[in-house]
Amino acid sequence: MDPALLEYAGYNPFQFWLLINSVNWGNLVYNTLFWIFPSVIATASLYIERDTVYYLAKIKSYGRKRYYITKTITVFLFSFAYFLAALVINIAITYVVFWGHWEQTDYFAKMVPLDGTFSYVFYTHGQLVFAVFYAVLNSLTIALFSMLCVTINFIYRFKNMYLATIVPSLLLYAITFIFDSSQELVQYNIRTIIQPRAVSALDSIISSENVIITLSVWSILILGYTVYGIYKYKDLI
């Protein structure tokens, strides 16, 4: 690790940013509810619309398969744009509100990612670049899993919106629990990868290769499951 990077760690509003400040309530709420966000988006965009005249008109106009594809793409783009905007706004507000807080603490001196981790190069280009990078990474993850939740809802058609929200969320929390329970899988745990403090706190190095493999595998699985839903269940939508 370059000692020069430590010199400024914690010397600016970066230390109060939502995703890096793991001791504040905002970070706790965000990470606790993380897997609920994709499910809520999927339910809000699909389930609430399903019993409306608008839904029937779209099905008649587009056809079931085209409607499914359009809805999935729309959910992905909306989720990504919405959370990217929210996280970037958080960064901007944090820098405005806390500008001038220059006191460094031992805790925030440890914010610098380990040399060799996938995010290290972004930190070397500036803490703001590092923060925006993680905002993009978090938004992309939520967008991908929102697609998965849409497909689950299309296929299983839950009886009410509560089940439509809870079941996909529980599935995602269960997957995270499996990855959290295995030391061998920690470098491929997507929830660990997208948390900057988790990455810098680990003894093991999460490399760019680990991140590319993780995102690629999840993207292929989710897209594959979506295609399966389109061709297998299009007549049931």
What are the mean pLDDT values of the chain's consecutive 10-residue runs (237 residues total)? 53 78 83 93 80 69 78 92 95 82 60 82 86 94 94 84 90 90 85 83 82 94 88 61
Q: What is the pLDDT of residue 140?
A: 96
173 Cβ neighbours under 8 A, 6+ residues apart: 35
Q: What is the pLDDT of residue 36?
A: 94
Under 8 Å CB-to-CB from 165, ≥6 apart: which residues? 36, 39, 40, 43
Q: How far apart are CA 160 and CA 17, in angstroms?
A: 37
Under DSSP, the state recorded for 16 is G
pLDDT at residue 51 in the model: 65
Number of Cβ within 10 Å of residue 222's Cβ equals 20
Q: Across the chain, which distance is largest between two alpha carbons, in Å?
A: 63
Asked whether 138 and 194 are in contact (CB, 8 A), the reply is yes
- Give pTM, 2 decimals: 0.86
Q: Would you list the domain boundaries of the chain?
A: 3-233
